[in-house]
């Protein structure tokens, strides 16, 4: 249904499973007394991110952000009768307004006699997770690699994604990048922005299709650490197929707006700076896709495949010739 109405009783907790299926915008979820204005009302509790339950539910104090392709499970309780609007309320908090939209998602008609129901809660010991979703915060990674998502990667009719051993970017925003460009050799900059191919050990390429050589080889039954380097006010949402990853370190904006260190996700904004994630490569082998979830960027080439292999070791490679399906199963 388009913008449905839902009848609720005051004091009743209701669960919403939400997905941001808009191809190129971030969503900031709020419940307000009016569409696009009004007061923030009702109580929201975060239960799960991208299909993975939190170890303990988390109260949402202001708004709940969702990147393109992101999913949230949220419990909602309105204590007072009235008509409220569960909406995408663009406040330019997680990105510029150019990558947001405002729209009511569902109208909550709250009426009747107030009841008392229990807020969803559980403890970490009551959540059973498979080995690949157990905390890796203190587990050393077996292998590491980096990704660079540079704002100037969108040029003309193509886009690129950087992969290498060191994809660190020399500046984070327009002002400090312009200062940097004015103080270094002009060849290191293009149109007032750093040329990412001049920094670190990071090869930027547009995705060339199924015939393109794999740029990273992972080992099944291992733990890998990926550093995602971003720049700019509106971060590219980076999505990894097959494996959920755990946030290990992140810029301050992540913990102030998005969540907590230790969260498991499969889509994360490439916030200006460096975000480190770890993921367990389970028994599934073969090609793994990673891409920007701004679908226009993905379609123009901001995506890549890497290969999960059961052969010993893992590497960054420009070579090809990887074939076959791994058969090793993790214990």
Rounded mean pLDDT for each run of 10 residues along the chain, 331 residues in total: 92 96 92 91 96 96 95 97 95 89 94 94 88 94 88 67 86 75 71 67 82 82 92 91 96 96 97 95 84 92 86 51 45 50
Query: Strand 216-219 to strand 303-309: parallel, antiparallel, or no bridges (unpaired)?
Result: parallel
Residue 156 pLDDT: 62
Give the pLDDT confidence score for residue 278 in this predicted structure. 97
Rounded to two decimals, what is the model's pTM?
0.90
DSSP state of 26: B
The Cα-based distances of 310 to 143, 145, 241, 244 in angstroms read: 14, 18, 18, 19
pLDDT at 181 (0 to 100): 77
What is the per-residue pLDDT for 180?
77
Within 8 A by CB and 6+ apart from 167, the residues are 146, 147, 148, 196, 200, 201, 202, 227, 229
Sheet containing 52-60: give its strands across: 13-19, 71-77, 43-49, 52-60
């Amino acid at each position: 249904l388009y913008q449905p109405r839902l009848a609720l009783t005051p004091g009743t907790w209701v669960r919403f499973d939400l997905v941001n299926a808009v191809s190129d915008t971030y969503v900031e979820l709020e419940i307000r007394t009016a569409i696009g204005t009004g007061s923030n009302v009702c109580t929201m509790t975060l239960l799960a991110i991208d299909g993975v339950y939190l170890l303990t539910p988390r109260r949402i104090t202001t708004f709940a952000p969702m990147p393109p392709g992101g999913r949230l499970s949220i419990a909602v309780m309105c204590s007072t009768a009235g008509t409220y609007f569960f909406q995408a309320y663009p406040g330019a908090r997680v990105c510029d307004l150019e990558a947001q939209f405002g729209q009511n998602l569902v109208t909550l008609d709250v009426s009747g006699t107030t009841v008392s129901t229990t807020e969803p809660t559980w403890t970490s010991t009551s959540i059973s997770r498979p080995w690949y979703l157990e905390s890796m915060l203190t587990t050393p990674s077996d292998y590491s690699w980096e990704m660079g998502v540079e704002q100037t990667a969108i040029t003309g009719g193509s886009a690129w994604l950087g992969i290498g051993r060191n994809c660190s970017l020399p500046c984070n925003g327009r002002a400090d990048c312009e200062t940097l460009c004015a103080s270094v050799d002009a060849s290191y900059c293009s149109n007032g922005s750093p040329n990412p191919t001049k920094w670190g050990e990071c090869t930027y390429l547009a995705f060339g299709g199924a015939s393109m050589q794999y740029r990273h080889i992972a080992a099944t039954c291992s733990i890998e650490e990926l550093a995602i380097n971003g720049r700019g006010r509106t971060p590219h949402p980076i999505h990894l197929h097959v494996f959920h990853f755990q946030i290990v370190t992140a810029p301050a904006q992540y913990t102030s707006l998005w969540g907590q260190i230790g969260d498991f996700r499969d889509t994360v904004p490439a916030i200006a700076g460096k975000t480190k994630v770890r993921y367990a490569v389970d028994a599934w082998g073969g090609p793994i896709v990673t891409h920007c979830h701004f679908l226009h960027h993905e379609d123009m080439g901001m995506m890549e495949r890497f290969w999960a292999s059961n052969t010993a070791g893992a590497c960054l490679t420009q070579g090809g010739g990887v074939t076959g399906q791994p058969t090793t199963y993790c214990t």
